Chain A
Amino acid sequence: MVFCLLAFFLIAVTLFTGIGTLNVDVFTKSALQGGALEMIVGTVYLFLGAAAIAGPIGVFTAIYLVEYAPSGKVTRIIDQAINNLAGVPSIIIGLFGYTFFSRQLGFGISLMSGWLTLSLMILPIVIRGSEEAIRIVPQGFKQAALGLGATKWKAISLTTLIAAAPGIVTSVILGIARVAGETAAILFTSSVIITRGLPESPFEPVMALSYNIYVKIVAQGTEPERVFGIALILFLIVVTFSLVAIILRIYYRRKQPWLS
């Protein structure tokens, strides 16, 4: 445990030594002028779109698994597939995204390909988180609605789903935290090192913080110190999302008495 704490503090301290490299220009100036505006906005675009795709599918899957799925082979296969999807290395997701979304479906190197690829990484996190949130809601809520004559879907969407909403939102935020800094999956599918301004349609490539750090260091041989600023911004974005998710979870566990 001490090891983990040490590791975390080491990482935080190291990154904060780079705080001097940050200034207002980084946030407001375009990349062509030495800022990071397009990278920050590009990263936000990427994870918001991916969450918008994975969110509904993930929540529906979770509802199906908890409330509808008959216990049998089909359900077991779905369950197993979700676990396997969660375990697929991000570089393979990237390869798949490139052959399928970029080439087969013809989206090219674009925001759209990035969204779809990243949504595959968020999906298992949203499913597992929402499943947990839905499972924990007392059956009584739903049964009361059923007793009043609601159909099954109505009962679930009007009671269970609303009671589970905080947990579901938390899982989506956790999913965002997991992909906001993802590099391997967008390496071939959506990002480029420099663009002229922000993408105007989902079918244009975007810049991203993580991609820039990686390519600058590995392909262009930039000294790590020179990307300190963007690394710090990325770290802050990801840690903020994780913290929000963690705090939300703890808060709602206390607030909703049936949860513990």
Chain B
Amino acid sequence: MNMSNKTLNKISSFFLNLKSQPMTVVLFLCASFSVIILFLMLFFVAREGALAFSQFGSDLFFGMQWDLESNLFGGFPLLYGSLMVTFGALIIAIPVGVCTAIFVSEVLPFYLRDPIKSIIELLASIPSVIYGFIGLLVVVPFIASTFGIVSGQTALTSSLILSIMTIPTIVSVSGEIISAVPKNYKEAALGLGATKWETIKSVVLPISKSGILASIMLGFGRAVGETIAVSMISGNQAHVASSYLDAVYTIPSFIAIHMGEAPVGSVEYSALFGLGLILLIITFIVNTLADIVVKRGVQP
């Protein structure tokens, strides 16, 4: 009782404060815009997907087949494809990204840091349709000829391109955390006779562990939702792929390709929104966890 009174007081004084300064109200409204949009997004995607969820329930996750004619809407192959491609991308992007972050913020001479960071930032700003285009032009034929397969549009191709798209996220987030490690920690280690590498391994990495973890999670979120590039180079076949040299279909590319032909309000349309909701929830969870991990890491 006491507790709720206190919060009530807090809330009312919060709004009273707003009332006394008109400009604060405007600013507060703008600031709440993001919150409102996020709720609207959840609500609308869920509303459109409700029909499919009520009809198929968990089949949308675990059903093996997506077949319009027999009214089957199973998203498992798509979920599987998404996770497969994403993990493949992370396996490449994590070591490369973390090593790059360490190299840029610890080893690289000072005057080279800005240019290198800028190039990594440029890499992040290249649109995904361009990545898809390059993938088709260069990587797909390369994979086909290297492994002697007919079509180079495979899970491996997508993972490769996705890893290039994920690396900037990992580098910039973990780089920021790594360069925030207090200088005197490093100097203490160096003073004790540790080599540069020993210092990085036993001082820098343990301290920035949580930041690196968060950067990986953000990278995961970015990779799992990537649509355009993947749908251009992954072959788009809805089956549980047996190897990385198989074609796959991911949730976002499936939505992108099928939305155009699904009549508004139909079961298929709703099922696509259902898939979208699954994806939205996955990225919500991952991003929120990443946030928590970062905040934990900052507090000593």
Contacts and interface: CB of A to CB of B under 8 A. Distances in A.
A120 B14 CA distance: 27
Interface in A63-92: 63-65, 68-70, 72, 74, 77-78, 80-92
Nearest to A211: B129
Given A8-B119, A242-B122, A213 B133 contact: yes
B14 A70 contact: yes
Interface residues of B, number: 81
Given A153-B23, A217-B136, A61 B30 contact: yes
A91 B225 contact: yes
Residue picked from B129, B273, B291, most chain A C-beta under 10 Å: B129
A214 interface: yes
A84 B30 contact: no
A92 B224 contact: no
Contacts, number: 233
Interface string A6-50: 011011001100000000000000000000000000000000000
26 contacts: A1-B100, A4-B96, A4-B100, A4-B167, A4-B171, A5-B119, A11-B126, A61-B27, A68-B27, A80-B288, A81-B34, A89-B224, A89-B225, A92-B280, A95-B45, A100-B40, A100-B44, A181-B126, A181-B129, A183-B228, A184-B252, A217-B133, A218-B232, A234-B127, A239-B126, A242-B122
Interface of A: 1, 3-5, 7-8, 10-11, 14-15, 56-57, 60-61, 63-65, 68-70, 72, 74, 77-78, 80-96, 98-100, 103-104, 120, 123-124, 127, 152-153, 174, 177-178, 180-184, 187-188, 210, 213-214, 217-219, 224-225, 227, 231, 234-235, 238-239, 241-243, 246, 250
Interface of B: 10, 14, 17, 21, 23-24, 26-28, 30-35, 37-38, 40-41, 44-45, 47-48, 96, 99-100, 103-104, 108, 114, 116, 118-123, 125-130, 132-134, 136-138, 164, 167-168, 171, 218, 221-222, 224-228, 231-232, 252, 255-257, 259-260, 264, 272-273, 276, 279-280, 283-284, 286-288, 291
